[in-house]
A = this chain, B = another copy of it.
Amino acid sequence: MERCRLVFSGSGGQGLITAAIILAEAAVIYEGLNAVQAQSYGAAARGGVTRSDIIIDDTEINFPKVTQPNILVCLTQEAYDQSFGIIRPGGLLLTDSALVRTKRKADARQRSLPLYRSVQEQIGKTIVLNICMLGALQALTQVVGLDSLLKVISSRVPSQFFELNKKALDLGVELAQNQW
Chain A residues engaging chain B, CB cutoff 8 angstroms: 17, 21, 24-25, 27-29, 34-42, 45-46, 60-65
Contact = CB atoms under 8 A, between A and B. Distances in A.
Copies in the complex: 2
A34 B42 contact: yes
Given A35-B40, A40-B36, A45 B29 contact: yes
A123 to B, nearest CB: 19
A3 to B, nearest CB: 14
Given A40-B64, A64-B64, A46 B29 contact: yes
What is the predominant secondary structure among interface residues of chain A facing chain B? mixed
A41 B36 contact: yes
Given A46-B29, A65-B64, A39 B41 contact: no
Contacts of A25: 41, 45
Contacts of A29: 45-46
Contacts of A36: 38-41
Given A28-B46, A46-B28, A40 B65 contact: no
B42 A37 contact: no
Contacts of A17: 21
A17 B39 CA distance: 12
